[in-house]
Amino acid sequence: MRLFLIRHGETVDNVAGILAGRRDSALTNHGAEQARRLSDYLAENRTSLTRIFSSTLQRAYKTASIVAAKQTTTDLTVSTVPYLIERDFGYYEGKTNRVRKGPDAEEHKKEPGFVDVESKDELAVRADLFLDLHLLPLLDDEAEFGGAAEHVVAVVSHGILLSSLWRRLLLRLGPGSVTVARDVVSNRGPVVLAHLGGWSNTGFLELSIQSVDPELGSELSPADAGSSPPESDATVNVSTLDSPGNSPGEVVPPQLLTESSGIEMPTDQSDVVGDVSVTKNAINAEPSEKEGLRLLEGYRTTILIVDGQQHLQGLKRQRGGIGRAEHDDKQQSMTSFFKKARKD
């Protein structure tokens, strides 16, 4: 499986700097253009999507619809899933994060009808439901065909939910089964597993989840051959990277940080599978977090791109407040308007 976890385009509430949460905040004109750029990029540089899932909120659904429009897959539709909606900020929706984390937080709880922020545990439950009911069955579908057919899946959602979704997926992956592509290591440096980096508007996390032939041990299955994107065609062993302060060729241990402590922790070298490798200890999960979870044994996962923004290179916001205004599907961009005018 090739998996893209994508955040929606810029919204009116993003521009205003307020917490949108369950509010159905609309895309801005700039946000719609970000989605179009992403749509073009995926259509031109990746294998066609076979499935696309989206939050039910319009900012995610419209982003997903724009992405789907350029795909060549027959009968590809956007499947909306309520589990993928953004965190419920309760009382604080429509307010700034400064208000939420300000000195009057305890006083807010005394307000009539106060609703607290959705907890991380509640987010995790929704993420697990999506994985178990929608995503992991697609891996079973691939297995039935013996790896001859690969799903290419896009999940369009919201930054906080996507972070929870990635972490819940990470908890299911086997020891030493996660590798990191060369570009991720060279561009981002230390890898923080549980927090790979915030999702920018239309930024995406790209993963390859491939079945490993048990007879080959750590070797890749045929389905994994050539699965890396053009700009990231290899994985790298961080222990051989040169870094500031180190002599060329000096051994540098992989830098994996735990979620709770933030302390650097080298991976267990016995779990290294030729590339940057991840042990379950790097996640620092409580045993209770893994109870009842379906673990992905026999799969190798490669982190190919983190917060991908290649499609946004050269994109400029329309001036005069137009870019920040709410997008209307009937509107034209200034570029398309003038192109049409020249044809007339």
Chain segment 233-288, per-residue pLDDT in tens: 444 433 333 333 433 333 222 333 333 322 222 223 222 222 343 443 444 456 66
Closest CA to 91 of 120, 116, 122, 119: 116
Determine whether the annotation assigns residue 273 to a binding site: no
Determine whether the annotation assigns residue 317 to a binding site: no
Rounded-to-integer distance, Cα 151 and Cα 138, Å: 7
Give how many domains the chain has, as a whole number.
Answer: 1
Determine whether the annotation assigns residue 14 to a binding site: yes
Please compute, for residue 338, the number of CA atoms within 13 A of its CA located in the half-sphere on the CB side.
Answer: 2
pLDDT of residue 174: 80
Determine whether the annotation assigns residue 11 to a binding site: yes
Conformational region of residue 249, where left means phi above 0, alpha means psi within -120 to 50, and beta covers everything else? left
CATH number at residue 134: 3.40.50.1240
Catalytic residues: 8, 86
Determine whether the annotation assigns residue 98 to a binding site: no
Determine whether the annotation assigns residue 168 to a binding site: no
Residues in a beta bridge with 78: 52
pLDDT of residue 79: 97
Residue corresponding to tokens 């041990």: 217
Kindly state the DSSP code that residue 51 receives in the 8-state scheme: E
152 in Cβ contact with 46 (< 8 Å): yes
Rounded-to-integer distance, Cα 343 and Cα 137, Å: 49
Those residues of the chain that have pLDDT short of 50 are 216-284, 337-338, 344
Determine whether the annotation assigns residue 281 to a binding site: no
Radius of gyration of the chain (CA): 21
213 in Cβ contact with 9 (< 8 Å): no
3-state secondary structure of 88: coil
Domain hosting 176: range is: 2-343
